[in-house]
Amino acid sequence: MFDRSQFPEGFLWGAATSAYQIEGGAQGGAGRTHWDDFAATPGNVEGAENGDVACDHIGRMDEDLDLLKDLGLDIYRFSTSWARVLPEGTGTPNQKGLDFYDRLVDGLLERGLKPAWTLYHWELPSVLADKGGWRNRDIGDWFAEYADLMAARIGDRVWSAAPINEPWCVAWLSHFEGVHAPGLRDIRAAARAMHHVLYAHGRAVEVLRGANVSNVGAVCNFEYSNPASDSEDDRRAARTYDAIYNRFFTGGLFHGAYPEEVLEGLEPHLPHGWQDDMPLIGQKLDWLGVNYYTRKNIAAAPGPWPALAPVDGSLPKTQVGWEIYPEGLRHFLNQVARDAPGLPIYVTENGLAAEAPHQDDQRISYLTDHIEQARRAMAEDGVPLAGYITWSLLDNYEWSLGYGPRFGLVHVDYDTLERSPKASYHALKSALKRSA
């Protein structure tokens, strides 16, 4: 695969998961979330599957932390569930939920693992969704309250904190494309969510700094936008897709401005006075996380802005049909290094869905090829890359695709909930072994 010694001493390796995808949301007094509502609505999720049980990480946390340690990792990137600790979104906390995250963080530290904490990985409490969720500017206050509660509880022991996982998914995929909860397809809702997700990020950064939480960053996702043909129309469409996906959020975080190609469509729908939030949004960060999986081929399409559509591509694909394009990772590592010169960068998610329950050779070669691109970005292009975190430790609930896609280094039998490490787990373990 590769060898730890090909990377600088101190380069960190990790695996990621998220709360709703593994914990088991129906246990431990967690409140209802908009993912429960979305999944209960016919047609939204494969088999109408939900996160009620998931991998029962709530009941099997120690076993899962042992798997991380035995693999030889340095970091575990996890998220806390807002609804588990504040079932009503605000107000009275659920002590059992807070205790669980205390034990999780302590369990990581006892095993010598660095806790990399994400505050929001998509399970918005239903009560807040009722009030408009990400469309409502009050989400800044609600999120700040949640950040404050959690910072007081685990903020002294986490290694890093990132307010929001993948703003593009929270805003665009969920409010314009309708693919994730709350399943809206509405340009005004999307515009508001695009801005409010960054506004809430800024509010949480303020709270985390105020509570002396160390190493505060942000995690964005990126998808390589490839014009379906050389025509001027397709190239324009690919640029628009790139601006919405790959430049809007970093524009807010690092340049105090949104890309022109996006304002062309969204400006009329953005909340009044959005420009005034830019200093809050652009507060200094300690690191940036890059999540990268695939590329899309984009063609011009009839209809209103953004007037584009993805078309099928020719590269080899994963279990869920995503094209495999490792060079895209190097491209984005260079892009963000230009956006924020000198800022430490981490790959915070990268991986694939592969059907093979145990002998997952496709995962081994996918990881090998992407890690090599990351190494080149660092060694040949001078990108200040400081670590690589793969998605995911376990097979888990893949959102609207349900439990079919298998993203884990460890196989989960959803009938018995038994964990078994796959070939990729063993390959990564031997790559990470330190020579004596």
Q: Which positions are catalytic?
A: 166, 349
User: What residues are paired with 160 via a beta bridge?
Assistant: 116
- Give alpha helix (H) positions in 253-407: 260-266, 278-281, 327-339, 361-379
356 closest CA partner among 294, 415, 423, 429: 423
At closest approach, how far in Å is the CB of 200 from ligand FCB? Answer: 17
- Which position among 159, 249, 407, 425 is part of the footprint of ligand FCB (CB under 6 A)? 407
Tokens 């060694």, residue?
A: 379
At closest approach, how far in Å is the CB of 8 from ligand FCB? Answer: 27
Tell me whether residue 140 or residue 289 sits nearer to ligand FCB (CB atom): 289
Q: How far apart are CA 388 and CA 119, in angstroms?
A: 20
Tell me whether residue 7 or residue 292 sits nearer to ligand FCB (CB atom): 292
Under rule CB under 6 A, how many of the chain's residues touch ligand FCB? Answer: 12
At closest approach, how far in Å is the CB of 278 from ligand FCB? Answer: 26
Tell me whether residue 7 or residue 245 sits nearer to ligand FCB (CB atom): 245
Q: How far apart are CA 403 and CA 370, in angstroms?
A: 25
Contact window for ligand FCB (CB under 6 A) among 100-108, 128-136, 163-171, 266-274: 163-171
Tokens 């996906």, residue?
A: 245
48 contacts 406 by C-beta, under 8 angstroms: no
At closest approach, how far in Å is the CB of 21 from ligand FCB? Answer: 6
Tell me whether residue 287 or residue 399 sits nearer to ligand FCB (CB atom): 399
Binding status of residue 399 toward ligand FCB by CB under 6 A: yes
- Which position among 18, 174, 225, 226 is part of the footprint of ligand FCB (CB under 6 A)? 18
At closest approach, how far in Å is the CB of 310 from ligand FCB? Answer: 16
Residue 89 DSSP symbol: S
- Which position among 22, 58, 169, 213 is part of the footprint of ligand FCB (CB under 6 A)? 169
CB-facing half-sphere around the CA of 322: CA atoms within 13 A: 20
- Which position among 245, 391, 403, 425 is part of the footprint of ligand FCB (CB under 6 A)? 391
Binding mask 349-368 for ligand FCB (x = CB under 6 A): x-------------------
User: What residues are paired with 317 via a beta bridge?
Assistant: 323
Binding mask 239-278 for ligand FCB (x = CB under 6 A): ----------------------------------------
Distances (CA, A) of 115 to 162, 199, 250, 389: 11, 25, 24, 12
Residues 287-306, interacting with ligand FCB (CB under 6 A): 291
324 closest CA partner among 345, 347, 353, 346: 353
Measured in degrees and rounded to the nearest 5, phi and psi for residue 298 equal -120, 130
Binding mask 307-346 for ligand FCB (x = CB under 6 A): ----------------------------------------
- Which position among 165, 246, 362, 400 is part of the footprint of ligand FCB (CB under 6 A)? 165
172 contacts 190 by C-beta, under 8 angstroms: yes
Contact window for ligand FCB (CB under 6 A) among 60-68, 108-116, 164-172, 357-365: 164-172
At closest approach, how far in Å is the CB of 330 from ligand FCB? Answer: 19
Residue 402 DSSP symbol: T
Contacts of 289 (CB under 8 A, 6+ apart): 162, 217, 218, 219, 220, 345, 346, 347, 348, 349, 389
- Which position among 32, 398, 422, 424 is part of the footprint of ligand FCB (CB under 6 A)? 398
At closest approach, how far in Å is the CB of 236 from ligand FCB? Answer: 26
Helix or strand or coil: residue 13?
strand
Binding status of residue 221 toward ligand FCB by CB under 6 A: yes
222 closest CA partner among 168, 165, 286: 168
Binding status of residue 134 toward ligand FCB by CB under 6 A: no
Binding status of residue 166 toward ligand FCB by CB under 6 A: yes
Give the angle 246-276-270 at the CA atoms, nearest 5°. 55
Contact window for ligand FCB (CB under 6 A) among 5-13, 130-138, 161-169, 225-233: 161-169
Contacts made by residues 92-98, CB under 8 angstroms, sequence distance 24+: 93/149, 94/28, 94/29, 94/30, 94/31, 96/28, 96/29, 97/28, 97/29, 97/30, 98/149, 98/153
* Chain residues that interact with ligand FCB, rule: CB under 6 A: 18, 21, 165-166, 169, 221, 291, 349, 391, 398-399, 407
